[in-house]
Amino acid sequence: MKMSFAACSLVIFFSLNAACKKEQTTITTDSATTTITPWKDGVMGANYNGATKTIAYGRPDANGNYKIFLSDADGSNEHALTYPDWHSDRHQWPEDWDPTGQYLFCNVEKNDYVAESGHTRTSTDATPGYGAYTDIWVIKRDGSQAWKIVDLPNNYNSAVTHAATSKDGTLFAWTERVQAPVFLDVNLGAGAYVFRVATMSYSSTPAVSNIHTYQPGNVAQGGELESISPDKKTLLVYSSFESKNMLATPIYSITLATGNTIKLTSESYSQCPFYTPDGKHIVYMTGRDADTFPFSIQGADWWIMNADGSNQRRLTYMNKKDNPQSVNQYRLAGTLSFLSDTTFLGGVMTNPLGLVGNTVKVNFAGFVK
């Protein structure tokens, strides 16, 4: 979910409306072909598990509270995934699977409202991507059992946004807010964040241990982690620690053993970096070269680069005027989940505010031959 500065952009939130094209669109550039095919309307945050061929995603109920749904890979057999301890009038959101597909990591809004000085909690605070008053849980795919594995303080300073598991499931990482948003602060308008990486165990009671904290530059910063490399050596994040601007967020890799941070992109506003399953490339979103349409703000498309940041190429052209992939309106590419080394499900947003959208399937096999 990957959205906002609490999950793939701050003020620029995941949103997509019914204007998404229903037919398959294809664009060919420099002998490379990318296809975008609609997958499912009205859902965001898709996470695919290859072992079970199951996809988890979020969808709002009639009252605007986001809930977790599961379906087959083709979108059929949709059903809700919930747990008796989770109140129905609270937000729940899928984050990632363990490799077996038996356990789903998810963000769940706390049940209890408590009095605070200086802030009154609302449902919007806990919207996925903002993530205040939210804990991290693990739930079985059949919903029979669930465990809270990260219990955050029940106050406005604390929030949790995007999380990721390693390919083998032994590491679990998440983005945690440690300071509430600072009004009109261009750097901390969505709050200050750190990145946590822990060892994950799946015994009778799943749990995290050996937690390490990473904070680029050791300064207050906005950003989000998205992906752990297949070899478990690096973490992909975007951050404002150098720019001091929440809308100027380059992508970085963090070496887990040392904390060394390497800048991979230079343009303003790049987010949502994900390693391909083979670890050779990174797919990410950026506003680079995106057209701005009348009465709109700049959107963003998906790009691809080598794992070291070299050979950056544009994958999609949703924000290119009169392009076959464009409807000549604002589109924001969001978080994604790989179906294969060259195909992913990704969220596409059409409104700069809100968390409403559709999910598309993107194939880019022509770019990595």
75: in domain:
yes
- The DSSP-derived string for 296-347 is S---BEEEEEETTS-S-EE---TTSTT-TT--SS--EEEEEEEEETTEEEEE
Q: What are the residue ranges in the chain where pLDDT is below 50?
A: 1-31
What CATH code is carried by the domain that includes residue 39?
Answer: 2.120.10.30
Q: What angle do CA 297, 128, 41 make, to 5 degrees?
A: 70
Q: Give the strands of the sheet with 54-60, arranged side by side.
A: 44-49, 54-60, 66-72, 79-81
316: in domain:
yes
What pLDDT does residue 200 have? Answer: 98
pTM: 0.92
Contact status, residue 359 vs residue 330, Cβ threshold 8 Å? no
**Nearest to residue 176, comparing CAs of 190, 156, 196?**
196
What pLDDT does residue 357 have? Answer: 80
Encode pLDDT of 199-237 as tens digits: 999 989 999 999 999 999 999 999 999 999 999 999 999
11: in domain:
no
19: in domain:
no
What pLDDT does residue 366 have? Answer: 81
Q: What angle do CA 69, 73, 79 make, to 5 degrees?
A: 25
Contact status, residue 18 vs residue 354, Cβ threshold 8 Å? no
What pLDDT does residue 33 have? Answer: 81
Backbone phi, then psi, for 303, in 5-degree steps?
A: -125, 170
Total number of domains in the chain: 1
Encode pLDDT of 102-129 as tens digits: 999 999 999 999 999 999 999 999 999 9
118: in domain:
yes
What pLDDT does residue 67 have? Answer: 98
User: In which domain, by residue range, is 316 found?
Assistant: 25-367
Indicate the helix (H) or strand (E) that contains 57. Answer: strand 54-60
What pLDDT does residue 369 have? Answer: 60
